[in-house]
Amino acid sequence: MNEKELIQGLQKGDESAFKYLVETYQHMVYNTALGIVQNATDAEDVAQEVFIQVYRSIHSFKGESKLSTWLYRIATTRSLDLLRSKKSKKRFGFMQRLFGDGTEPVFEIPDFNHPGVALENKEKAALLFKAISQLPDNQKKAFTLHKLEDLSYHEISEVLQTTTPAVESLMHRAKQNLRKILEKQVK
């Protein structure tokens, strides 16, 4: 099934087209979410929300970009929405009162096989993911899509709806910020 046929099937409400969409893109969506939210359960929730949103809004998809670009855009937006929601809850202390005393580890690194992560041990991965989580949202999106999802700067510019030079700038600043953050963590 080519992309045009898939989109037409989705817009007609064809269940087999939706099943094909999920089977084809579930790992990409999950890995993108996992790179941003850094928690396997949250990434699964985000992936589910992405496919629900696609199902509900496929009629608004104009085909101006590739379907995968649209999925990346939804996945990164939903992932960042989840992080903002969690930060908001923590800010008001609801999480500690409802779910424990706040001594749980903040950065749980699950056992996952992410195509962009080839680190030898969880300790190094934890430091890297903690540093990535401290980046501004646009830098976090660009870095995750480039380094963990292996997208080109041009593809990232489509996902983020910006220019390629803007993505280059985001990546440059992200690398500088990560270097500073990691240097502080190692000291």
Per-residue 3-state assignment (H helix, E strand, C coil) for 39-106: CHHHHHHHHHHHHHHHHHHHHHCCCCCCHHHHHHHHHHHHHHHHHHHHHHHHHCCHHHHHHCCCCCCC
What average pLDDT does the segment 151-169 reach? 93
Residue 179 and residue 131: Cα distance in Å, rounded?
9
In tens, the pLDDT along 95-122 reads 344 344 444 444 444 444 454 445 455 6
Residue 59 and residue 28: Cα distance in Å, rounded?
22
b/e per residue 166-175 (b: at least 16 CB within 10 A): bbeebbebbe
What structural domains and CATH numbers belong to the chain?
Answer: 3-186 (1.10.1740.10)
Confidence bin at 187 (pLDDT 50/70/90): low
Given a cut of 50, whether residue 92 has pLDDT beyond it is no
- Identify which of 14, 32, 23 has the alpha carbon closest to the alpha carbon of residue 69: 32
In tens, the pLDDT along 14-68 reads 999 999 999 999 999 999 999 899 889 999 999 999 999 999 999 998 888 899 9
Residue 2 DSSP code: -
Residue 76 and residue 95: Cα distance in Å, rounded?
23
Residue 44 near residue 38 (C-beta atoms within 8 A): no
What average pLDDT does the segment 111-139 reach? 69
Q: How far are the Cα atoms of 19, 98, 142, 187 from residue 72, in angstroms, in the given order?
A: 18, 33, 11, 36
Q: What is the pTM of this model?
A: 0.68
